[in-house]
Amino acid sequence: MGNQQVRSKQRVADYGEVFTAAREVNAMLDLVKDETQRIDSRFLEPACGEGAFLTEILRRKLAVVKGRYKKSPFDYERYAILALMSIYGVELLEDNAESCRQNLFTIWNTEYTAVMRQQASEECRSTARYILRKNILCGDALTMLQADGTPIVFAEWSLVSGGMVKRRDYTLDELLRKSEQKSEIDEVYQTSLEGKDKAAEILPTPIREYPLTDYRRLAQYE
C-alpha cells in the first residue's frame, strides 16, 4: 500500500489492521535472504493483508528464475509457476485476500510477459490464477478455519518431472501439528538415527491426493 500503513481507524479498531512498510518488509526478509531466493522454498504468511511480505518474496524468487532460465522458455515458465506455488497466505478480510491475489498475479504476470513475450500463454496465466485461489485463503489462522467455518486446507504442489505436478491437500491444523512434533524430535534427536526415523513417522497425512498433471492444466482439477 505504499507508505499508507492504516486504511481506516475503524478497521484498526475492529481487526487490528496495520500494514507493514516496504523498508521493514525488506529488512525482515533479509534475515532469511537465502530462503527467499530459493525457488521452491515455501512461505506461509498467517495474516497476509494485501501481500506486503508475499509480493516481495515473489519478486525475489522471480528474479532468480529469470537469472537462471530466461534463455529457456519451457524452463522459465514452469519454474515461474513453481515460485508462485511456494507462496501461501491466510487473511481474515476477504477484500484484503483478493487484493493479495491480484497483487501477486500482477507481479507474476508482468515478469512472465516481459520474459516470454510472444510465447506467453493464456493457459499458463489461468494456472497462475488457479494456484493463487488455492494458496491465498480467507480465514482465521488462529482458529485455522475459513470464513465459512470449514478447516483451512492448502494444496501442496510438487514439480516432479518435466512439466508434471503432484498435488496433495492438507489441513493447516495437520501441517502445523506435524511441524511442531518434528521440531521437538529434531531438538532431542538432532544427530541420532532414531530421531531421523521418528521424524519420518510424523509426516503429515493428506486429506486428498491428485494424479500427476501437466502444470498448464492444473485448473482442470475442478
Give tens-digit pLDDT for 130-188. Answer: 999 999 999 999 999 998 899 999 999 999 988 999 999 999 988 887 666 545 444 54
Q: What is the pLDDT of residue 212?
A: 94
Sign of the four-CA dihedral 168, 171, 176, 182: negative
Query: What is the phi-psi region of residue 209: left when phi exceeds 0, alpha when psi lies from -120 to 50, beta otherwise?
Result: beta
Q: What is the pLDDT of residue 72?
A: 96
Q: What is the pLDDT of residue 180?
A: 63
Distance from chain centroid for Cα 199:
24
Q: What is the pLDDT of residue 83?
A: 97
Residue ranges of the chain with pLDDT lower than 70? 1-20, 178-202, 222
Distance from chain centroid for Cα 50:
14
pTM of the prediction? Answer: 0.81
3-state secondary structure 107-151: HHHHHHHHHHHHHCCHHHHHHHHHHHHHHEEEEECCCCEECCCCE
Q: What is the pLDDT of residue 178?
A: 66
Q: What is the pLDDT of residue 201?
A: 56
Q: What is the pLDDT of residue 32?
A: 80
Beta-strand pair 145-146/153-159 = unpaired
Report DSSP state, residue 20: P
